């Protein structure tokens, strides 16, 4: 089982491929990790060094991956933070070639654009390329609530609005949309939801809201979702496994008072979380 993961890389901390590769490897997946950045750390610290990689370099790395035959054996291509509009275009071209070479390949796009606290935090021009080019190529996309609303161009404050907007997003290309960090007007303030929607079914899973919001949570969640899907799980089961493991890692991180996710310390919890949450099927 091979996954090609195209995301940011940092020297310190757990975001991008630093949050995604280890959990997938712990699940027995051979990961081909292609960086879009080489940074000392994530934004949010007093200093940050390194840079977003040149699009030509990312294209060269992806060409090398193709030359080694990784696309032929790949089950899923996962992309996260792409860094620049030029890299997004390179990735879109790679996905198009890869799907032609391997029609069974699944593309999971985590459209890293921003969040409700900071708004959009990527280079100008990148959000529109995600909306118009990259996400339509995806089989599965995993936006957070803020990103979902941006991609749809409409607010989603109720479950009916979210479902209606999802069908509009599904019409552009994806066969499944998984929305994370969902907060709706009828939800208790101490809960947060994750909702997975396909064209004919939808599943909703609620967890307690923890008093931390470390960076990289979406990267960890999507890697765990991919880990389940690549092993043949249905979207509803993958949702349960990914949310339960992510929650357990975050719960441990909160307990030790760490600023960065403690993924390595919590490695045994990735496959055996303390709590298993249940998903409820909802009408679409």
CB-based contacts of 126, cutoff 8 Å, min separation 6: 82, 84, 85, 88, 113
Closest CA to 281 of 205, 206, 224, 226: 205
Kindly give the parts of the chain with pLDDT less than 50. none
Mean pLDDT, the chain, whole residue set: 96
CATH code, 218: 3.40.1190.20
CB-based contacts of 240, cutoff 8 Å, min separation 6: 205, 276, 277, 278, 279
Please answer whether residues 176 and 208 qualify as being in contact, where contact means their C-beta atoms are separated by less than 8 angstroms: no
pLDDT of residue 271: 84
Say how many C-beta atoms besides its own lie within 10 A of residue 283's C-beta: 8
- CA-CA distance, 144 to 218, in Å (whole number)? 8
pLDDT in tens, 129-175: 999 999 999 999 999 999 999 999 999 999 999 999 999 999 999 99
pLDDT of residue 225: 98
CB-based contacts of 145, cutoff 8 Å, min separation 6: 116, 156, 179, 180, 181, 182, 183
Q: Which domain holds residue 183?
A: 2-282
* Percent of the chain whose predicted confidence (pLDDT) is above 90: 95
State how many domains the chain has.
Answer: 1
pLDDT of residue 246: 98
- CA-CA distance, 93 to 42, in Å (whole number)? 27
- CA-CA distance, 208 to 142, in Å (whole number)? 20
pLDDT of residue 7: 98
The secondary structure element, H or E, covering residue 143 is none
């Amino acid at each position: 089982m091979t996954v090609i993961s195209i995301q940011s890389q940092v020297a310190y901390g757990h975001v991008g491929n630093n949050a995604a590769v280890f959990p997938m490897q712990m699940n027995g997946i051979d990961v081909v990790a292609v960086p879009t950045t080489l940074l000392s750390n994530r934004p949010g610290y007093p200093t940050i060094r390194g840079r977003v990689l040149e699009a030509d370099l990312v294209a060269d790395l992806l060409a090398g991956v193709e030359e080694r035959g990784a696309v032929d054996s790949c089950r899923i291509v996962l992309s996260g933070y792409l860094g620049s509009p030029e890299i997004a275009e390179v990735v879109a071209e790679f996905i198009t070639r890869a799907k032609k070479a391997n029609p069974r390949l699944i593309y999971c796009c985590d459209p890293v654009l921003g969040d409700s606290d900071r708004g959009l935090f990527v280079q100008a021009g990148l959000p529109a390329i995600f909306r118009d080019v990259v996400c339509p190529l995806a089989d599965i996309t995993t936006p957070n609530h803020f990103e979902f609303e941006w991609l749809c161009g409409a607010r989603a404050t109720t479950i009916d609005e979210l479902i209606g907007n999802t069908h509009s997003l599904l019409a552009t290309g994806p066969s499944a949309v998984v929305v994370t960090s969902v907060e709706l007007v009828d939800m208790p303030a101490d809960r947060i939801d994750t909702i997975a929607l396909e064209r004919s079914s939808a599943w909703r899973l609620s967890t307690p809201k923890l008093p931390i919001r470390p960076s990289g949570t979406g990267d960890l969640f999507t890697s765990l979702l991919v880990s389940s899907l690549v092993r043949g799980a249905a979207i509803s089961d993958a949702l349960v496994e990914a949310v339960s493991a992510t929650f357990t890692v975050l719960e441990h991180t909160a307990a030790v008072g760490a600023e960065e996710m403690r993924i390595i310390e919590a490695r045994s919890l990735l496959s055996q979380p303390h709590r298993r949450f249940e998903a409820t099927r909802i009408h679409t």
